[in-house]
Amino acid sequence: GAVVSQHPSRVICKSGTSVKIECRSLDFQATTMFWYRQFPKQSLMLMATSNEGSKATYEQGVEKDKFLINHASLTLSTLTVTSAHPEDSSFYICSARDPGSGGSDTQYFGPGTRLTVL
Amino acid sequence: GNSVTQMEGPVTLSEEAFLTINCTYTATGYPSLFWYVQYPGEGLQLLLKATKADDKGSNKGFEATYRKETTSFHLEKGSVQVSDSAVYFCALRDKGAQKLVFGQGTRLTINP
């Protein structure tokens, strides 16, 4: 099946710094990518939907200025956590929709990025 | 709003045991239902799905039936293997929508 990669897999940063996480679709072009956040023992919460060439659509309660999303190409979306604080520590997961596979429910997930803010 | 509730884990079974992971949902319409599996160190993978009432999704020996009357989509497998050890997520998606709503996940460990 289609492959989605994320980089880095783990990152530790100091409070107040910014961190960029990359999500790439390796063997297909993804017009739509999704960013999720997962807290320990909790479900994945959708943060935003990213469409190539346009602004991301954020879910209610997600700060647009804190979680910057860029989807500049059909194979790459980035999530930047700006001025990170310890409460931003979490597991961030991206997924990408492959329009060529047919059906809007075909999302392929990356392995996730563990962010720890000290 | 829409929501998904899974049985709490972790679940530990012996090889060849029967598996059930319960999943119930709340939705305003008639959503599509999914089970995703996440093996250690990997991304979520679609395991099976059902798009309407009474549909049965199946894959790799796993089955789940879309029960509208009980708003459930329980995952079952008759004889589990060590390689089935993973975290399982139940999810729903409204008709015409792209957004997936996930349950909290159930960690399954199968001992030899």
Q: CB distance from A43 to chain B under 8 Å?
A: yes
Task: Using the predicted structure, report yes or no on whether residue B58 has a pLDDT greater than 90.
Answer: yes
Q: What is the DSSP string of chain A?
A: ---EEEE-SEEEE-TT--EEEEEEESSS--SEEEEEEE-TTS-EEEEEEEETTSPPEEPTT--TTTEEEEEEETTEEEEEE-S--GGG-EEEEEEEE-GGG-STT-EEE---EEEEE-
Residue A33 burial (10 A CB sphere; 0-12, 13-18, 19+): buried
Q: Give me the mean pLDDT over the A23-40 stretch.
A: 90
**How close B30 comes to chain A (CA, Å)?**
15
Task: Using the predicted structure, report yes or no on whether residue A93 has a pLDDT greater than 80.
Answer: yes
How far is it, in rounded angstroms, from Cα B100 to Cα B103? Answer: 10
**Nearest-by-Cβ selection for A105 from B38, B49, B101:** B49
Contact A49 B98 (CB under 8 A): yes
What are the CA-CA distances from residue A68 to residues A22, A49, A55, A74, B51 (Å)?
Answer: 12, 12, 10, 17, 34
More confident residue, A107 or A15: A15
**How confident is the model at residue B94, as a pLDDT?**
86
Task: Using the predicted structure, report yes or no on whether residue A105 has a pLDDT greater than 60.
Answer: no
Contact B41 A1 (CB under 8 A): no
**How confident is the model at residue A101, as a pLDDT?**
61
**What percentage of chain A reaches a pLDDT higher than 90?**
68
Q: Give me the mean pLDDT over the A20-42 stretch.
A: 89
Contact list in B for residue A106 (CB cut-off 8 A) is 46
Phi, psi of A101 (to 5 degrees): -85, -15
What DSSP state is assigned to residue B35? E
**How confident is the model at residue A49, as a pLDDT?**
93
**Site from A43, A57, A93 to mutate, B interface, most B CB atoms within 10 angstroms:** A43
Task: Using the predicted structure, report yes or no on whether residue A57 has a pLDDT greater than 60.
Answer: yes
What chain A residue is nearest to B10 in terms of C-alpha separation? Answer: A41
**How confident is the model at residue B21, as a pLDDT?**
97
How far is it, in rounded angstroms, from Cα B36 to Cα B103? Answer: 10
